[in-house]
Chain A
Amino acid sequence: GQQVMQIPQYQHVQEGEDFTTYCNSSTTLSNIQWYKQRPGGHPVFLIQLVKSGEVKKQKRLTFQFGEAKKNSSLHITATQTTDVGTYFCAGPPSGGFKTIFGAGTRLFVKA
């Protein structure tokens, strides 16, 4: 079945450093979605990418969708303590219904 892998599992950064998390699917995806879950909270939708090679920015966050629509990345520039949490990627396979979530990357930011 479809698998979505995320690396790294954990990342510790100093405030102000950059951070990147990578997402790889075993199958082609219809779209890729990114969610953030703060400690003790629930996942919150950040963005959805649909087109091959698509790049979207949200302030300090840059999201990319690979040309083959099987991988994606989230890059945060100059992390802040408010960025702490777990970042999940998720996507349904092309032609499928089931959105599969990656295991997430937990980001720790030291002030």
Chain B
Amino acid sequence: DSGVTQTPKHLITATGQRVTLRCSPRSGDLSVYWYQQSLDQGLQFLIQYYNGEERAKGNILERFSAQQFPDLHSELNLSSLELGDSALYFCASSDRGLYNEQFFGPGTRLTVL
């Protein structure tokens, strides 16, 4: 158990819909990262937040957005969903935020039908 929690574990929805994925980092970790992993693919970095502010952005689509709240939990919002958005979405957290190892949550499996 990494100490990072993600909800929900599974999500099935239809094209065009909007969903919110939630992540609670390890206690004390200020940095939160979001990744997308499609079937048998690598980890695509989406976005990083550090203590409530956006720190780095990867290949995140305009239909996707995220935020980190004052209590440090984070949410990833995916809208106008397409079939190709079906994937595992991982959240990770780290302390100090810059170069430290990341601790991954169990992931949310999103299926878009």
- SS class of chain B's interface: helix, strand, loop or mixed? loop
Contacts of A90 in B (CB 8 A): 102
Q: List residues 84-113 of chain B with CB under 8 A from any CB of chain A.
A: 90, 92, 98-107
Contacts of B104 in A (CB 8 A): 35, 42-44
B interface size (C-beta, 8 A): 25
Stretch at the interface among A14-22, A60-68, A92-100: A92-100
Shortest CB-to-CB span from B34 to chain A, Å, is 12
Q: List residues 39-55 of chain A with CB under 8 A from any CB of chain B.
A: 42-45, 48
- Chain A positions near chain B (C-beta within 8 angstroms): 30-31, 33, 35, 42-45, 48, 88, 90, 92, 96-104, 106
26 contacts between A and B (CB under 8 A): A33-B102, A42-B2, A42-B90, A42-B106, A43-B90, A43-B102, A43-B104, A44-B104, A45-B101, A48-B100, A48-B101, A88-B42, A88-B43, A96-B56, A97-B48, A97-B56, A97-B98, A98-B45, A98-B48, A98-B56, A100-B45, A101-B35, A102-B42, A103-B41, A104-B43, A106-B40
Q: Contacts A43-B43, A88-B42, A90-B102 given; 16 further ones with Cβ under 8 A?
A: A33-B102, A35-B102, A42-B2, A42-B104, A43-B90, A43-B102, A45-B102, A96-B56, A97-B55, A98-B58, A99-B45, A99-B99, A100-B45, A101-B43, A101-B45, A102-B42
